[in-house]
């Protein structure tokens, strides 16, 4: 809804803040250890390839969202299976991010606050923003993008005196398998999720602007992921960064400028919370859109927002007990869980679109 008023800069802002959402606290390529920089570069190439495929699909179908494109490519029956993949995936990601956000607030700031009160607060904001539509989420991201970027740049500059190049030397010591798994970890969360943008944004300003928006957003996001991940490992080292729940938070806590300027981890916490709200609301919207398409409600998903939000509220309370729980799950299961909706389904769609474009256009 309201997408005709959203310009390309706002869409780029959503993508960048979406990527910042998790990358500001968690490093996803630590399997590659001192070669994590190489994993991020490989991940970026993979993400650009996916962005090009999604941009091509949107170029050929400029007035249709991803779920309408599924129906054109695969027919009604099989497209509902594809929709189901995105319903389950989007719902679970919203629950995961909300649980992550709630536990982070409890661990770092409000340890005595009952989890249920934080869950009510987070769920209420999410329902309100998604009910406001895509335009509200885009305006939110655009307003907070520059302060978030400045905070990250200042943090990295302030960490320069504590960086030790030896923490990334010698390079090329890890196996190709570890490096590639590190690239996959960053790809599935958060750099390679271009298909989610195609589901969230129904149209771009012009058919060709899909290339500009997706490639610019992914490139800026990849630069931020690279800068945050590498600077954190240069400060903490691979072993410590792997042992703590929130490595960038720990590195930011070490910033001390003069006698009085410290506590920069609080600024980083705000950046994470802003990004987390953008990311969770993008997925929340996609989940509701997919349900509406699956059951024939077309673009009318507003009436689904509150009941889906209440389901998310309950699941966020019981799916994960704490950071140890979801951190272990992410390390062992996330790549396999997210690969179908971030790579397999979009790639199949792209192949079918290219093969049958003259018939289904």
pLDDT digits (tens, 9 = 90+) for 163-192: 999 999 888 888 899 999 889 988 988 888
Under 8 Å between Cβ of 203 and 63: yes
CA distances from 202 to 58, 314, 355 (A): 9, 29, 23
C-alpha–C-alpha distance, residues 243 and 275, integer Å: 24
In angstroms, the first-to-last Cα distance of the chain is 24
**Cα–Cα distances in Å, from 75 out to 45, 82, 234, 316?**
32, 11, 51, 34
Determine the Cα–Cα distance for residues 64 and 11; give it in Å rounded to an integer. 16
What per-residue confidence (pLDDT) applies to 361? 58
Cα four-point dihedral sign 333, 277, 136, 190: negative
**What pLDDT score does 85 carry?**
92
pLDDT tens digits, one per residue of 102-129:
888 888 878 888 888 999 999 999 999 9
User: CA-to-CA distance for 331 and 245, rounded, in angstroms?
Assistant: 12
**Residue in 327, 49, 92 with CA at minimum distance from that of residue 192:** 49
Q: Measured between alpha carbons, how far is residue 114 from residues 96, 106, 107, 309 in Å?
A: 18, 8, 12, 19
Report the CATH number of the 3-360 domain.
1.20.1740.10
- Backbone dihedral region of 75: left (phi > 0), alpha (psi from -120 to 50 degrees) or beta? left
Task: Find out whether 209 and 8 touch, Cβ atoms under 8 Å.
Answer: yes
E strands, 59-115, are: none
Asked if omega into 87 is within 30° of 0 (cis), the reply is: no
Q: Concatenated DSSP letters for 290-336?
A: HHHHHTT-TT--HHHHHHHHHHHHHHHHHS-SSHHHHHHHHHHHHHH
| pLDDT confidence of residue 2 | 42
Q: Is 172 exposed, middle or buried (0-12, 13-18, 19+ CB in 10 A)?
A: exposed
Give the model's pLDDT for residue 317: 82
Q: Please tell me the predicted confidence (pLDDT) of residue 1.
A: 44
List, for residues 187-199, the tens digit of each pLDDT value: 988 888 888 998 9
Write the pLDDT tens digit of every residue in 247-262: 898 888 888 776 555 6
Which residues of the chain fall below pLDDT 70?
Answer: 1-4, 258-263, 322-326, 328-329, 358, 360-361
CA-based angle 87:91:96, to the nearest 5?
150
Distances (CA, A) of 247 to 23, 38, 240: 10, 19, 8
Q: What pLDDT shows up at residue 261? A: 56
Q: What SS3 state is found at 205?
A: coil
102 phi and psi angles, rounded to 5 deg: -65, -45
The model's pTM = 0.92
Domain ranges of the chain: 3-360
Q: What is the DSSP letter of 257?
A: B
pLDDT of residue 236: 92
Rounded distance, CA 213 to CA 223, Å?
Answer: 16
Q: How confident is the model at residue 235, as a pLDDT? A: 93
């Amino acid at each position: 809804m309201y997408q005709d008023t959203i310009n390309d800069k706002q869409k780029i802002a959503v993508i960048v803040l979406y990527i910042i959402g998790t990358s500001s606290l968690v490093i996803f390529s630590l399997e590659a250890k001192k070669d994590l920089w190489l994993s991020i570069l490989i991940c970026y190439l993979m993400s650009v390839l996916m962005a090009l495929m999604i941009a091509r699909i949107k170029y050929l179908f400029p007035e249709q969202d991803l779920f309408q494109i599924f129906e054109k490519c695969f027919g009604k029956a099989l497209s509902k299976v594809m929709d189901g993949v995105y319903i389950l995936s989007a719902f679970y990601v919203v629950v995961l991010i909300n649980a992550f956000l709630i536990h982070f607030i409890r661990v770092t700031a409000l340890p005595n606050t009952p989890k249920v009160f934080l869950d009510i607060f987070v769920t209420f904001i999410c329902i309100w923003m998604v009910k406001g539509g895509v335009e509200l989420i885009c305006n939110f991201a655009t307003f907070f993008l520059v302060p978030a970027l400045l905070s990250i740049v200042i943090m990295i500059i302030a960490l320069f005196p504590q960086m030790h190049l030896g923490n990334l030397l010698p390079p090329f010591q890890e196996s190709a398998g570890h490096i590639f798994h590190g690239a996959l970890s960053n790809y599935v969360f958060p750099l390679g999720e271009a298909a989610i943008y195609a589901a969230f944004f129904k149209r771009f300003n012009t058919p060709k602007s899909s290339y500009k928006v997706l490639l610019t957003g992914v490139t800026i996001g990849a630069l931020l992921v690279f800068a945050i991940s590498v600077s954190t490992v240069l400060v903490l080292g691979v072993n410590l960064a792997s042992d703590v729940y929130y490595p960038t938070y720990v590195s930011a806590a070490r910033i001390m400028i003069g006698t009085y300027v410290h506590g920069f981890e609080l600024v980083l916490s705000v950046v994470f919370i802003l990004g987390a709200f953008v990311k969770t609301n993008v997925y929340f919207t996609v989940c509701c859109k997919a349900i509406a398409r699956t059951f024939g409600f077309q673009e009318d998903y507003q009436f689904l927002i509150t009941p889906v939000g209440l389901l998310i509220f309950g699941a966020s309370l019981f799916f994960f007990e704490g950071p140890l729980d979801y951190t272990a799950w992410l390390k062992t299961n996330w790549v396999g869980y997210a690969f179908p909706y971030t790579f397999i389904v979009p790639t199949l769609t792209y192949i079918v679109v290219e093969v049958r474009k003259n018939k289904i256009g």
